[in-house]
Amino acid sequence: MRKLLVTTLLGAVAMPAFAEEVNVYSHRQPQLIQPLIDAFTAETGIPVNIAFVDKGMVERLQAEGDRSPADLILTVDVARLGEVKDAGVTQEFRNEALDAAVPAELRDADGQWYGLTTRARIIYANKERVADGEVTTYEDLADPKWKGRICTRSFTNDYNVALTAAYLAHHGAEATRTWLEGVKANLAKKPEGGDRDQVKSIWAGECDISLGNTYYMGQMVADPEQQPWAESVRIVFPTFEGGGTHVNVSGIAMTKSAPNKDAAIKLAEFLAGDEAQKIYAETNHEFPVKAGVARSELVQGWGEFTPDALALSEISKLRPDAIKLIEEVDFDN
């Protein structure tokens, strides 16, 4: 069996050539997907070369054009999937196995990307200062009772942009503007840091509730330093009025060049299959997209919720309008 090669891309790095291989440009840290790649290579013998592209994914693919060695893009957030599609650096790769595994609302209507896992955008609430049932909807976050009690990362972050786009889809522009203004007025401090930093702030008594992705709870529980932060909060699955809990995806798209298309499709099918979906669930604390694959025991302990029924491709289309509203209310300042 050929040895798996994982390449971290910080600049221009040449990928080695094999008779059959898959080259991946990834927004995800290589260590998060390494167990999946190991399993794929063990099953198929196909090496996978991963280039970590933290920034400038679209620009790099545009510059490389037809010469790009990349076959697949792995990324988080529907906004980034929409971005590579809109930039014209991906291609349609409709596939029966993927269509069967991935629900329609979690894949692109034009067959340009597929969701592989989901995560909910939830509320972390202090166990002592926030009563059960005190916050139940995203709309609640604009209630003046939370003045000085909310922490959040930047609202221009992809996760919050997607949430705002979903709010926009549910309620329209004027209601979304009013909501953003209300949430901003309730902030305990200027947005900064990541989702786990907000939970640390709750633990430190700087605020009482925050927005965050579900899998960060799993990461905090696994880190001895961060366990006290996790223990200070409960997970609340808020809903939109008339809707469900906002979910986002990690997903996959095929590049326009894709020199190893057949092998790339094999990897995409594997990532949506039972084995990989179980690995995603157990190691990354994410929700499998494929029906019948169980969540991890830890994640099951967070309780059940009803995902919002909005198609993520529709949310992606509203991303520019959401960013415009966030900037108009000057949310982060």
The 10s digit of each residue's pLDDT in 314-331 is 898 899 999 999 999 999
pLDDT tens readout for residues 68-100 = 999 999 998 888 898 899 999 999 999 999 999
Partnered with residue 255 across adjacent β-strands are 90
Whether 68 and 84 have beta carbons less than 8 Å apart is answered as no
Mean pLDDT across 31-40: 90
d(C-alpha 290, C-alpha 143), whole Å: 37
Q: Which range, 51-60, 72-81, 235-244, 284-293, is most confident?
A: 235-244
CATH H-level superfamily of 119-246+307-328: Periplasmic binding protein-like II (3.40.190.10)
pLDDT for residue 12 is more than 60: no
Non-local (6+) Cβ contacts of 108 within 8 A are: 81, 85, 114, 313
Domain boundaries for CATH 3.40.190.10 within the chain: 22-118+248-293, 119-246+307-328
Mean pLDDT across 90-118: 94
Non-local (6+) Cβ contacts of 48 within 8 A are: 4, 5, 6, 21, 22, 23, 24, 37, 40, 41, 267
Non-local (6+) Cβ contacts of 143 within 8 A are: 182, 186
> In the chain, how many H helices and how many E strands?
14, 10
CATH H-level superfamily of 22-118+248-293: Periplasmic binding protein-like II (3.40.190.10)
What's the one-letter identity of residue 30?
Answer: P
Q: Please, what sign has the CA dihedral across residues 172, 88, 155, 117? A: positive
With vertex at residue 162, the alpha carbon angle to CA 277 and CA 274, rounded to the nearest 5 degrees, is 5
